[in-house]
A and B are shown apart, each in its own frame.
Chain A
Amino acid sequence: MYTLTDVSKTYRQGARTVEALSDVHLSIADGEFIAVQGQTGGGKSTLLQLLGALDKPSRGTVLLGDEDLGRLGSTELGDVRARRIGFVFQSFNLIPTLTAQENVETALAPLGVPATTRRERARAALESVGLGDRTGHLPSELSGGQQQRVAIARALVKEPDVLLADEPTGALDEDTRGEIIGLLEGVWRDRGLTLIVVTHDSWVAHRAERRVHLKQGRITGKAATRV
């Protein structure tokens, strides 16, 4: 699925440069479930941005399949995101003015899906995360766990190759945490997609097939080994 070779990412902050990722080598197979662990500021989100075609590496190559993401323009990157990548965020990132149903539909808007199909698919996605009876609710009318389920439905509705989740349980209580991870695991198993979850929660990390540790931008430990 992914092949990262010698990847570095530096951010410029005025005169200072911060190396968020340094010389990262990583391959991720199709259908893998990987947890990315590490302390705050370790470069987990930066790695996820590169995997998610949100940003380009400063050095090295990031291949998604055989597509070199570093060589794509911003329109093409947007297209990759629209078609192949599903995102789940720590703070859900739902559009506050749109209903659950409409939030899920936003993921299909750039794909040019006709309105009726769009509505049916969004509804089906919400049903698959157990929210078939909440389609008309605004995010503010839903609990945190329910909001994250809507976000997962939004990420899944396009039937992506990869599901990227950045601290998906970071804003949730323990019971809900288990629910959400269970849901993600179920999706991964049923759909055969590649699941990459960033977390500093070792309980969550231990559900994954493989764990990648990031410390000060570098991968530590036996990252390449499959569990």
Chain B
Amino acid sequence: MFGTYLRRELVNRRRQTLIVAIGMALAIALVLVVNSVAGGVKAAQAVALQSVYGVGTDITVTKATTAADTNGGGQRFQFGSGSGNATGGTRTFTRNRLTVERGVTTFASTAVSTVAKTSGVKAATGVLSLNDTDFTGQIPQAGSGSGSRGGFTPGATRPTGGPDGQGGSAFGVDSFTVLGYDVTGAAIGPLTAATLTSGRALTAADSGKDVAVLDSDYATSAKKKVGGTISVGGTTFTVVGVVKSTSATGASGSNVYIPLATAQKLATQTGKVSSVYVEAASANDIGGVKTALQKTLGSAMTVNTEADLASSVTGSLGTASSLANSLGLWLSILVLAAAFLLAVLFTVSGVTRRTREFGTLKAIGWSNRRIVGQVAGESIVQGVLGGVIGLAVGLVAILVVNIVHPTLTAGTATVGRTLAGGFGGGAPGAAPGGFGEGGGFGRAAAAATTTAAQIALTLPVTAWVVLLAVGLAVLGGVIAGAFGGWRAARLRPAEALRSVA
């Protein structure tokens, strides 16, 4: 009887069934998509972070920058008048600086062992992030052409020196990031997110040696190969390996990897590191480990978990993340609440409309339980129907997103930068005799690329999400059924005799 009555009601009151089911379906589809987007964005964030901090890094320890420690303030290069070498009327300068990355403060590497000894820490390793900047400049050789130095005299012979042969100058700045890491220590940190594409990885035997592993993208752009050399801080390193970021995002921890001891010596940062990468013993207690580390290390040190670092992800990925997390969440809650309310109102008004029907059933001996069960059954089936439609709509929407595969850009604040800039001094004006209009600096190639990774968004669908969607739909039906059933239970059986005409 229950089944027959239920089916008849749902089929014969199609409009009511459809309105409640569609309301529920919209909410469920939204919950599904928002949940999936949040999952997809989180995964993309993890990818963006992984390429920078490595796989398995749960916590990073850095030193908070104070005004006194800052090594910022711009790069300065000084050239003596006689420095550089002159060829064909052009004097070429090269200057090289290997410094700690801007905005990064180093600290004693004893912190690494302090961290490692903290309870809940499985492994810890220290790294030193450096920046190698090469400055190349070409200016007309003093004394060639006109006799005066450092200027042009009106009416004088046009200068001939310089890279363009017309008295112009050219300056180039090339910079790459260098990461010194502990080749003897634990396998955590940036390189864990990379695979070796050629050559070999650095081993404990390389400690203190002038050997380097390059990031494949950098190796390609700098035209370096295994067996070749690279100059880091004025020292020639042998390239022994090339690694590629497994995350396929293009973002990598660093351009060049060298042994920590070598890096410390070259940058005159003996016994110093710039960050400590920490792996927690249990993924469930990262918060606890963070608290313990902060307590041990003091407030001068910054302890970040992966969750903290996620907020450093910028770009459209960051936007998508905050949208999915805040707006999406609230929107789903709102729509879900609206759908539940709709279901409740429709069910209650349906019961009110069927007062005489339920009164009659009570009059012929139906128990309250049977009637409440019938009402609840109807709303639960409507909810489940909505859930199934919503699931289908949501899955189709997710499928569409996965087929379209939108890419999001992700920047990470602390990622090393590859800077390739240049200034070309233009030739002075063609009109002889006028004041030299030259020296109009044109930015030849001043593209400062932050590590912007293109991450394709893939929306995951887990069994858990499907279960959640169906569960919510059933919950909506149960809530509506509870209200409707409560309403039906309160009806007096004598209502059946009420004349309606």
A residues with CB within 8 A of B: 45, 48-49, 52, 54-55, 74-75, 78-79, 81-83, 85-87, 89-91, 93, 95-98, 102, 105-107, 109-111, 118, 154-155, 158, 166-167, 171
Identify which of B12, B492, B497 contacts A89 (C-beta below 8 A).
B497
Q: What chain A residues lie within 8 Å of B357 (beta carbons)?
A: 93, 95-96
A85 CA to B362 CA, complexed, in Å: 12
Q: Which of A52, A89, A102 has the most CB of B within 10 A?
A: A89
Instruction: Say yes or no: B12 contacts A78, CB within 8 Å.
Output: no
Identify which of A91, A106, A158 contacts B499 (C-beta below 8 A).
A91
Contacting A at CB under 8 A, from B347-400, are 356-357, 359-368, 370
B441 at the interface (CB under 8 A from A): no
Decide: A97 near B8, CB < 8 A? Known: A52-B363, A106-B361: yes
Instruction: Say yes or no: A78 contacts B366, CB within 8 Å.
Output: yes
Contacting A at CB under 8 A, from B1-42, are 1, 4-5, 8-9, 11-13
A93 CA to B356 CA, complexed, in Å: 7
Instruction: Say yes or no: A109 contacts B12, CB within 8 Å.
Output: no
A48 CA to B498 CA, complexed, in Å: 12
Q: What chain A residues lie within 8 Å of B497 (beta carbons)?
A: 45, 48-49, 54, 89, 166
Contact digits for B462-500, partner A, Cβ 8 Å, 1 yes 0 no: 000000000000000000000000000000111011011
Contacting A at CB under 8 A, from B228-266, are none
Identify which of B8, B13, B356, B492 contacts A55 (C-beta below 8 A).
B492
* B2 closest partner in A (C-beta): A109
Q: What chain B residues lie within 8 Å of A110 (beta carbons)?
A: 364-367, 370
Q: Which of A81, A102, A106, A111 has the most CB of B within 10 A?
A: A106
Instruction: Say yes or no: A55 contacts B494, CB within 8 Å.
Output: yes
User: Which 4 residue pairs spanning A and B have beta carbons closest together?
Assistant: A82-B365, A97-B12, A93-B360, A97-B8
B204 at the interface (CB under 8 A from A): no
Instruction: Say yes or no: B366 contacts A96, CB within 8 Å.
Output: no
Q: What chain A residues lie within 8 Å of B11 (beta carbons)?
A: 97
A118 CA to B493 CA, complexed, in Å: 24
B205 at the interface (CB under 8 A from A): no
- Please give the distance in Å from A162's CB to the nearest CB on chain B: 13
B501 at the interface (CB under 8 A from A): yes
Q: What chain B residues lie within 8 Å of A102 (beta carbons)?
A: 1, 4-5, 8
Decide: A87 near B363, CB < 8 A? Known: A97-B12, A106-B1: yes
- Please give the distance in Å from A116's CB to the nearest CB on chain B: 13
Identify which of A55, A87, A98 contacts B364 (C-beta below 8 A).
A87
Q: Which of B1, B11, B362 has the most CB of A within 10 A?
A: B1
Q: Which of A55, A110, A111 has the most CB of B within 10 A?
A: A110
Contacting A at CB under 8 A, from B390-421, are none
A-B contact count (CB 8 A): 100
- Please give the distance in Å from B241's CB to the nearest CB on chain A: 76
Instruction: Say yes or no: A98 contacts B5, CB within 8 Å.
Output: yes
Instruction: Say yes or no: B12 contacts A106, CB within 8 Å.
Output: no
A217 CA to B157 CA, complexed, in Å: 132
Instruction: Say yes or no: B365 contacts A107, CB within 8 Å.
Output: yes
Identify which of B366, B492, B496 contacts A106 (C-beta below 8 A).
B366
- Please give the distance in Å from A187's CB to the nearest CB on chain B: 17
Identify which of A48, A55, A79, A95 contacts B365 (C-beta below 8 A).
A79
A99 CA to B105 CA, complexed, in Å: 83
- Can you report 12 A-B residue pairs in the complex whose CB atoms are below 8 A from each other? A45-B497, A49-B497, A54-B362, A54-B363, A78-B368, A81-B364, A81-B365, A81-B493, A86-B364, A89-B360, A102-B1, A110-B364
* A90 closest partner in B (C-beta): B499
A171 CA to B13 CA, complexed, in Å: 26
* A52 closest partner in B (C-beta): B363
Q: What chain B residues lie within 8 Å of A48 (beta carbons)?
A: 497
* A109 closest partner in B (C-beta): B1
- Please give the distance in Å from A36's CB to the nearest CB on chain B: 13
Identify which of B13, B368, B494, B496 contacts A97 (C-beta below 8 A).
B13
* B358 closest partner in A (C-beta): A95
A85 CA to B361 CA, complexed, in Å: 13
* B366 closest partner in A (C-beta): A110
- Please give the distance in Å from A82's CB to the nearest CB on chain B: 2
* B357 closest partner in A (C-beta): A95
Q: What chain A residues lie within 8 Å of B9 (beta carbons)?
A: 97
Q: What chain B residues lie within 8 Å of A95 (beta carbons)?
A: 5, 357, 360-361
Instruction: Say yes or no: A89 contacts B496, CB within 8 Å.
Output: yes
Contacting A at CB under 8 A, from B317-367, are 356-357, 359-367
- Please give the distance in Å from B11's CB to the nearest CB on chain A: 8
A85 CA to B1 CA, complexed, in Å: 20
Q: What chain B residues lie within 8 Å of A109 (beta carbons)?
A: 1, 366, 370
A166 CA to B500 CA, complexed, in Å: 13
Q: What chain A residues lie within 8 Å of B362 (beta carbons)?
A: 54, 78, 81
A55 CA to B4 CA, complexed, in Å: 30
* B5 closest partner in A (C-beta): A98
Instruction: Say yes or no: A105 contacts B1, CB within 8 Å.
Output: yes
**Contacts A78-B366, A91-B499 supplied; 7 other A-B pairs, CB < 8 Å:** A78-B362, A93-B356, A95-B360, A97-B12, A97-B13, A107-B364, A109-B366
* B364 closest partner in A (C-beta): A107
A69 CA to B332 CA, complexed, in Å: 53
- Please give the distance in Å from A101's CB to the nearest CB on chain B: 10
A86 CA to B365 CA, complexed, in Å: 9
Q: What chain A residues lie within 8 Å of B359 (beta carbons)?
A: 93
* A91 closest partner in B (C-beta): B500
* B13 closest partner in A (C-beta): A97
- Please give the distance in Å from A56's CB to the nearest CB on chain B: 11
Instruction: Say yes or no: A87 contacts B496, CB within 8 Å.
Output: yes
A105 CA to B365 CA, complexed, in Å: 12
Q: What chain B residues lie within 8 Å of A105 (beta carbons)?
A: 1, 4
- Please give the distance in Å from A163's CB to the nearest CB on chain B: 12
